[in-house]
A and B are shown apart, each in its own frame.
Chain A
Amino acid sequence: MEQDIVLVLLVAVALAFDFTNGFHDTANAMATSIATRALAPKVAVGLSAILNFVGAFVSLKVAATIAADIVDAAAITPTIILAGLLGGIFWNLLTWRLGLPSSSSHALIGGIVGAVLVAAGSGAVFADGVVGKVLVPAAVAPLLCLAAAATATFIVYRLIRSRPREELHRGFRLGQIASASLVSLAHGTNDAQKTMGVITLALVSNGNLSGAHPGVPVWVVVSAASAIALGTYVGGWRIIRTVGHRITGLEPPQGFAAEMSSAATIVAASHAGFPLSTTHVTSGGVMGAGVGKRAADVHWDVVARMAAAWLLTLPAAGAMAALFYLATRALGTDVAGPLVVSALAAVTAGALYAQTQRSPDHATAADL
Chain B
Amino acid sequence: MLATIVDWAALWQVIAASFVVSVAVTTLFTSGLVLVEPGDRPPSAARRALGGLLLLASVALVAGGLYVVFTTK
Contact = CB atoms under 8 A, between A and B. Distances in A.
Partners in one complex: yes
Interface string B52-68: 00000000001001100
Given A151-B23, A264-B21, A156 B14 contact: no
A132 B5 contact: yes
Contact of B37 (A155, A167, A264): A167
A28 interface: no
Given A264-B65, A268-B17, A137 B30 contact: no
Interface string B4-22: 0111001101110111011
A58 B70 contact: yes
A111 B70 CA distance: 30
B25 interface: yes
A128 to B, nearest CB: 5
Contacts, number: 119
Interface of B: 2, 5-7, 10-11, 13-15, 17-19, 21-23, 25-27, 29-31, 33-34, 36-39, 62, 65-66, 69-70, 72
Interface residues of A, number: 44
A195 interface: no
A175 B29 contact: yes
Contacts of B72: 271
Given A136-B6, A156-B26, A260-B25, A168 B37 contact: yes
B57 to A, nearest CB: 14
B30 A253 contact: yes
B37 A171 contact: yes
A256 interface: yes
A265 interface: yes
Contacts of B15: 140, 144
B18 A148 contact: yes
Nearest to A274: B14
Given A253-B30, A268-B13, A261 B37 contact: no
Between B6, B21, B30, the greatest number of chain A beta carbons within 10 A of the residue's beta carbon is seen for B30
A272 interface: yes
